[in-house]
Chain A
């Protein structure tokens, strides 16, 4: 039984590109221990929407992104892409639907094959998909490189190590978009880049989204980056979603004490002179091998009560298009 109701996390639009139902992912560790990295989460993404998935390391956000792509598949739950439940597909059917969703990874250089030329890397999905001859493929690669702001003539025969991190991330985006996907999953696409280059890639993703009609899941730990690119934001903590709201609303009217603490921790260059770190929360994220009973955030929460230890809070409405899983929300 899903513990996070679907209706409560549904976006307004009727055309849903991605629907995730009670997704879990458990890893078996040496010694027989089981680590539940994702503990039953549900969300939907409407056509043309960008959903930001934010949380600290170990919260399970990367596992969610990878489970969507079956890298590896989820332990339970369902991923529905444009109406097709992926768990029921054969390997061949899954391969056929794969071009509809593509992924951009964190490390721009190591996620590209060091031995291949940039043109070959961007063309690879076309080769796998088949159907085009060499000349047609080259034409598409040229279009895509151009679309991501790379000069095809300059980078065509280069290899990843000859490009900067920002340029490699542009190559990753070109490779992800060349099959015209509907859904783009970005896992920390700018976190290894310098701030000036990060801005270039964020602008590129916004442009690509508009130009190619993309729907995006944007996974990141940086709250300011996530706010900049997202329409709605889901906050994860220790394998669960604790709050979902439209981006502007989440940042101005956070209801979950964890979201409030996260936002209070981000130092701002314009206002935080000589700050006293008054609202810093103590402790660190507990081990997913032994998550706290009840609410998983209660061990660090300034508002925790006895109820939080025994009863797991469900997601419930906290305003328009806004849900929170907390017994003592801010509002």
Chain B
């Protein structure tokens, strides 16, 4: 564990029991996050990024989750060893989470002010009046106009952007040390996305909390994250400081992901470099590097043996037998 890390995940394996077999959704992930830092966790659907987040929060039912190995050290405690009762005390209080779709995360028949107040009463035993007063303050701090009036609104009376602000207010209510935001702007329009990203950034700076921002959008991580971890098929394949990693990706998957997305700076009708095929099924993943079947650089060894992780200076890591040279992308 790195000195000073708030969160240190070591060799984490979260397998999911499904009717079709055991899905190795998170399959040996190690990553550290220091207090006050922002980690962007990037990958496509099914890469395991949300399961990783839910593993940290302890939000996967024991009936489904096979804790196949590893540790989640948060502030010195291994979260995997905590009871559900202990997790409940920690969840929302020290680690909070917001999700892609605020409509399904909010209680539809409860006023939003009461939903914020509920968290304060639960964790701090605040009085009803005190919780109500703090709820209005929190709504104001996340940029909701006329917060006294809005505190009495129901979720369906708010726009998508306002609902996500309410979710952020709930998440911030207890001043958590770590906020996990799982695709928080994916359902929002681009102008509102920019507002929410700015809000997350401001609140992170003001409160000194750590932030894990999960997204499929490399532009979003570029704007907000200090460091980026790229996930593919249940594993982190590359990790580094945001600008270093995006300017000079070493793992071919990172480079391919960047080249397949159209960019505003490119002229119309620029041919996109699509990645052929699709990610592997994680019930029976490929023996070697999991990206090898789709990788244009793959050699025999890539298909045969899992790649080793190379550690470079500047906290740069990649897991690849045939990494790209610096200055490729």
Contact = CB atoms under 8 A, between A and B. Distances in A.
B194 interface: yes
Contact of A194 (B45, B201, B273): B45
Contact of B264 (A200, A263, A274, A277): A263
Nearest to A52: B268
B244 to A, nearest CB: 10
Contacts of A272: 219, 222-223
Interface stretch (A78-86, A95-103, A222-230): A222-230
A195 B260 CA distance: 6
B262 to A, nearest CB: 4
Given A56-B190, A206-B269, A277 B197 contact: yes
Contact of A229 (B45, B217, B243, B269): B269
Contacts of B44: 194-196
B161 A228 contact: no
Contacts of B264: 223-224, 227, 251, 263, 266, 268
A198 interface: yes
B218 A269 contact: yes
Interface stretch (A140-148, A154-162, A170-178, A280-288): A280-288
A281 B194 CA distance: 9
Interface in B192-216: 192-195, 197-198, 201, 216
B189 interface: yes
Contact of A280 (B194, B262, B275): B194
A269 B275 contact: no
A310 interface: no
Interface in A279-305: 280-282, 284-285
Contacts of A267: 194, 197, 217, 219-220, 222-223
A221 B189 contact: yes
Contacts, number: 142
Nearest to B45: A194
Contacts of B267: 248
A107 interface: no
**Most chain A Cβ neighbours within 10 Å, of B192, B220, B257, B274:** B274
A231 interface: yes
B257 A196 contact: yes
Contacts of B195: 277, 280, 282
A269 B257 CA distance: 11
Interface string A234-267: 0000000000000110010000000001111111
Contacts of A230: 268
Contact of A262 (B190, B198, B219, B275): B190
B268 A197 contact: no
Contacts of B258: 269-270
A292 to B, nearest CB: 16
B88 interface: no
B270 interface: yes
B273 A227 contact: no
B274 to A, nearest CB: 4
B269 A199 contact: no
Interface in A181-222: 194-200, 202-203, 206, 221-222
B257 A277 contact: no
A266 B219 contact: yes
Contact of A284 (B192, B256, B261, B265): B192
Contacts of A274: 223, 242
A75 interface: no
B26 to A, nearest CB: 19
Interface in B228-245: 242-243
Contacts of A276: 198
B191 A262 contact: yes
B220 A285 contact: no
A166 interface: yes
B260 A270 contact: no
A201 B274 CA distance: 9
A275 interface: yes
Contact of B223 (A57, A195, A202, A277): A277
Nearest to A263: B264
Contacts of A277: 194-195, 197-198, 201, 223
B271 interface: yes
A222 B263 CA distance: 10
Given A56-B189, A265-B190, A285-B189, A228 B274 contact: no
Nearest to A193: B45
Nearest to A261: B191
A164 interface: yes
Contacts of A227: 262, 264, 266, 268
Nearest to B161: A284
B221 interface: yes
B179 interface: no
B223 A224 contact: no
A42 B246 CA distance: 42
Contacts of A282: 195
A195 B45 CA distance: 10
A197 B278 CA distance: 8
A45 to B, nearest CB: 15
A263 B44 CA distance: 24
**Most chain A Cβ neighbours within 10 Å, of B195, B266, B272:** B272
Q: 3 closest Cβ contacts across the A-B interface?
A: A267-B219, A269-B218, A199-B274
Interface of A: 56-57, 164, 166, 194-200, 202-203, 206, 221-225, 227-231, 247-248, 251, 261-277, 280-282, 284-285
Interface of B: 44-45, 159, 161-162, 189-195, 197-198, 201, 216-223, 242-243, 246-247, 256-258, 260-276, 278
Given A56-B192, A228-B266, A269-B258, 8 more contacts: A198-B261, A222-B262, A223-B190, A266-B190, A267-B220, A269-B246, A270-B222, A277-B195
20 contacts: A194-B216, A200-B274, A202-B262, A202-B272, A206-B269, A206-B271, A224-B262, A224-B264, A227-B264, A227-B266, A228-B269, A247-B268, A262-B191, A264-B194, A265-B190, A267-B217, A268-B265, A270-B222, A277-B201, A280-B194
